[in-house]
């Protein structure tokens, strides 16, 4: 690309380093920035700097937070005996939006993935085991996505905490509400039959 | 979306105001920013502020530039008697990358579009007509995209400059190099037959 301006070129190069954004998309975004009021772009830039400079991870659950201990960890109405293990903040947001879970979370910060060079030491697994050692936790719920990496991570953690005799569970796999049976994959459908639940339970809520 | 942090929420809101980026994509981008070194995001923010604060439009052709008169307008090797009328900087970049054009440009900054509320007064048409009035220009090439808005804009400008007795031309419409005839639309194929060129000319370059 032959840019007519260094400022334009810099901005396009910086934006195109973001995942999923190529040079053409970056140029389109930059031209949009030039069309709208300057102040909006100042707000954008400030919000990005504020984000990377001031954001914290909750000391207890490792979720993204503005303070040392996040709102969920400091909420006394939540059940501190249950911990739901998730990959990142998006999973916390997804589960919170169901309003069905009242326990605490533990954010791993990723999944074990040898291909991407992510091992157990890169995640917050040690901190989870420390929590469990302390004896306050009765149940650990595994809520990682059901991929090779997710299953590996679940199994690794399970092996580490097996000896502490606490209840472990995993979120149910099954047919999505509203989905047609005929289009479901066999593994999911198979699991949903093996792990069937009493009919009365499905009437709740 | 229930954010666990105001800083996170601000950044996601600001990013999701960009065209084609929704809240989920914005969140994915923000989490990427948090994983990479802080300095990179500082560079990004600085480049955006530099862009909106310091960028100029060339006084002559209205293209994006770092200085008052752009490199193309100040290049004495270019033919100052030919002006190519384009919509924005992307078109200048596209034509420049062909290395086939040695005249100057005139960047309109958009196309006439009543639906989007863009009239002739929002574009740099007056400035183009001033240039033509000055008498230094021999030919105007219309290189707007061939849409309803592009054709309207071409025609509007054509009507304004008709009286000045200068040559006007438009870029050729036809079958793309490498394309199969059978998949071409009828209008394009029709125009490529009506506006056929001497065979010898197609051997050039």
Average pLDDT, chain A: 92
* pLDDT score of B153: 95
* pLDDT score of A65: 93
* pLDDT score of A86: 95
- B94–chain A Cβ distance below 8 A for any pair: no
As a whole number, mean pLDDT of residues A121-136 equals 93
* pLDDT score of B36: 92
As a whole number, mean pLDDT of residues B190-197 equals 87
Domains and CATH numbers, chain B: 6-54 (1.10.8.420), 69-171 (3.40.1360.10)
Nearest residue on chain A to B24, judged by CA atoms? A90
- B29–chain A Cβ distance below 8 A for any pair: yes
- The minimal CB distance from B38 to the residues A8, A19, A52 is found for A52
CB proximity under 8 Å: A 124-163 to B: none
- A99–chain B Cβ distance below 8 A for any pair: no
* pLDDT score of B205: 58
* pLDDT score of A192: 87
The radius of gyration of chain A's CA atoms, rounded to the nearest angstrom, is: 22
- A59–chain B Cβ distance below 8 A for any pair: no
Nearest residue on chain B to A47, judged by CA atoms? B11
- The minimal CB distance from A2 to the residues B20, B55, B93 is found for B93
Higher pLDDT, B187 or A11: A11
pLDDT tens for B102-150 read 999 999 999 999 999 999 999 999 999 999 999 889 999 999 988 999 9
* pLDDT score of B174: 87
Contact: B51, A33; criterion CB under 8 Å: yes
CA A54 to chain CA centroid, Å, is 20
Q: Nearest CA of chain A to the CA of B27: how many Å?
A: 8
pLDDT tens for B63-112 read 999 999 999 999 999 999 999 999 999 999 999 999 899 999 999 999 99
* pLDDT score of B14: 96
Q: In B87-153, where do the E strands start and end?
A: 103-107, 139-142
Tell me the chain A residues in contact with residue B34 when contact means C-beta distances shorter than 8 Å.
51-52, 55, 64
Query: Is the confidence at residue B204, as pLDDT, over 80?
Result: no
Tell me the chain A residues in contact with residue B3 when contact means C-beta distances shorter than 8 Å.
93
- A33–chain B Cβ distance below 8 A for any pair: yes
Neighbours of A178 (CB within 10 A): 5
* pLDDT score of A45: 96
Higher pLDDT, A1 or A184: A184
Contact: A45, B43; criterion CB under 8 Å: no
- B48–chain A Cβ distance below 8 A for any pair: yes
- The minimal CB distance from A52 to the residues B14, B33, B54 is found for B33
Q: Residue A149: which pLDDT band, with cuts at 50, 70 and 90?
A: very high
Higher pLDDT, A30 or B146: A30
Q: Residue A187: which pLDDT band, with cuts at 50, 70 and 90?
A: confident
Contact: B63, A4; criterion CB under 8 Å: yes
Query: Is the confidence at residue A205, as pLDDT, over 70?
Result: no
Average pLDDT, chain B: 92
DSSP codes, B143-166: ---SSHHHHHHHHHHHHHHGGG--
pLDDT tens for A34-77 read 989 999 999 999 999 999 999 999 999 999 999 999 999 999 99
Contact: B1, A29; criterion CB under 8 Å: no
- B100–chain A Cβ distance below 8 A for any pair: no
Q: Nearest CA of chain B to the CA of A19: how many Å?
A: 7
Query: Is the confidence at residue A112, as pLDDT, over 90?
Result: yes
Tell me the chain A residues in contact with residue B93 when contact means C-beta distances shorter than 8 Å.
1-4
Q: Residue B198: which pLDDT band, with cuts at 50, 70 and 90?
A: confident
């Amino acid at each position: 690309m032959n840019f007519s301006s260094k400022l334009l070129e810099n901005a396009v190069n910086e934006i195109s380093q973001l995942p999923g954004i190529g040079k053409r998309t970056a140029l389109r975004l930059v031209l949009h920035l030039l069309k709208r009021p300057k102040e909006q772009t100042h707000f954008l830039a400030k919000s990005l700097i504020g984000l990377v400079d001031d954001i914290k991870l909750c000391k207890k659950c490792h979720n993204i937070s503005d303070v040392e201990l996040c709102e969920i960890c400091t909420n006394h109405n939540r059940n501190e005996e249950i911990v739901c293990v998730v990959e990142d903040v998006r999973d916390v947001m997804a589960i919170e939006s169901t309003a069905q879970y009242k326990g605490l979370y533990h954010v791993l910060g990723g999944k074990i993935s040898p291909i991407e060079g992510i091992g157990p030491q890169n995640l917050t697994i040690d901190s989870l085991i420390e929590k469990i050692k302390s004896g306050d936790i009765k149940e650990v719920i595994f809520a990682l996505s059901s991929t090779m990496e997710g299953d590996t991570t679940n199994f690794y953690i399970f092996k580490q905490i097996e000896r502490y005799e606490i209840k472990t569970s995993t979120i149910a796999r099954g047919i999505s509400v509203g989905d047609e049976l005929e289009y479901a994959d066999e593994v999911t459908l198979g699991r949903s039959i093996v792990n069937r639940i009493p009919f009365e339970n499905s009437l709740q809520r």
